[in-house]
Amino acid sequence: MGALLIALTFLGYFSASIGYVAALYENRWRKWGLLSSVLGLSAQSVWLIQKTVMLGSFPDETLYDWIATFTWLSVIIFLTIQLLRPALPLGGFLMPITTMIWLGSQALSRRLVVPPHLHGELLKIHISAAVFAYVAFLLATVFSIMYTEKERELKRKRVRLFYYELPSLEIMDTMSTRLIVAGLTFYSVTLVSGMLWAKHIFNAYWSWSAQETWSALVWLVYAVYLVLRIRGWRGHKAAVYSMSAFLLVIVDLFVVGAFFHGFHFYNV
């Protein structure tokens, strides 16, 4: 049953990616993208419910589970935005990235767990805040991509359909910044709760493991973005910085998180 749900999730998200990218050129494909997104989200929701029943708690022990939750929440927020702003061509930019992240997670180990005796409220806060932070960073990146695409269309003077459906450059620039502020706030909670949890469990706030060091780097890079905004960075430079910063998140998930576990994951 689990394998079938995973296959349906991939089918739904991959089909949604194709549908929404096609909708950037022909509006009639948008309905296909929406229906496929709902299919993928429904399958993933059933998978999460099934796993929650099996474990007796929400699945958050492995990096694989964490990324599943991350993509699941990203799609939920995306579909909510679509209900509020149905004309916004967000899916053509967000769904391909979300699908690739979820697909990449299928190669991750599922045998690494946090021992039950290490669970607690601080760990739940730490994990939940990290999910919301990364979703905010992802959405900020998507708005930055849309900004650069609209800017490029404007320079080419041969605009495609989605050019007219995108918000103004100023609105997308502002949205990206607001999302990074939200993401950095959640990420600060992630770091602080993680430090308090580590102090409680290991009697040390910080161990300079690869995961902790990279997390601090991600926080610093996004903090520098806000400093640069205050100093006058706007538009293209800010959008490129936002997209580049998200590459650190990808490395954190698929390189540091997968190969340098530290205190975050334990062998069964």
Query: pLDDT tens digits, the chain, 268 residues: what are they?
Result: 678 989 999 999 999 999 999 998 888 899 999 999 999 999 999 999 988 888 777 777 678 888 889 999 999 999 999 989 888 889 999 999 999 998 888 877 666 555 555 566 787 888 889 999 999 999 999 999 999 988 888 887 777 667 788 889 999 999 999 999 999 999 999 999 888 887 877 777 777 777 888 889 999 999 999 999 998 888 899 999 999 999 999 998 888 766 665 555 443 3
Are 72 and 125 contained in the same domain?
Answer: no
Cβ(137)–Cβ(249) below 8 Å: yes
Are 127 and 158 contained in the same domain?
Answer: yes
Per-residue pLDDT reduced to its tens digit, 65-114: 888 899 999 999 999 999 898 888 899 999 999 999 988 888 776 665 55
Are 54 and 137 contained in the same domain?
Answer: no
Are 143 and 266 contained in the same domain?
Answer: yes
Domain end position, chosen among 110, 140, 155: 110
Domain end position, chosen among 77, 110, 143: 110
- Number of folded domains that form the chain: 2
Are 262 and 132 contained in the same domain?
Answer: yes
Are 87 and 119 contained in the same domain?
Answer: no
CB atoms near residue 259 (< 10 Å): 9
Are 176 and 65 contained in the same domain?
Answer: no
Q: How far apart are CA 33 and CA 121, in angstroms?
A: 38
Phi, psi of 231 (to 5 degrees): -85, 5
Which amino acid is residue 263, in one-letter code? F
The SS3 of residue 267 is: strand
Are 155 and 264 contained in the same domain?
Answer: yes
Are 192 and 106 contained in the same domain?
Answer: no
Note every long-range contact of 123-128, with CB atoms under 8 Å and residues 24 or more positions apart, other chains counting: 123/193, 123/197, 124/60, 125/189, 125/193, 126/190, 126/193, 126/194, 126/197, 127/60, 127/66
Domain end position, chosen among 40, 75, 110: 110
The SS3 of residue 134 is: helix
**Cβ partners under 8 Å of residue 97, min gap 6:** 138, 141, 142
Domain that residue 179 falls in: 115-268
**Average confidence score pLDDT of the chain:** 86
Are 55 and 125 contained in the same domain?
Answer: no
Are 165 and 236 contained in the same domain?
Answer: yes
HSE value, Cβ hemisphere, 13 Å, CA-based, for 214: 22
Are 136 and 267 contained in the same domain?
Answer: yes
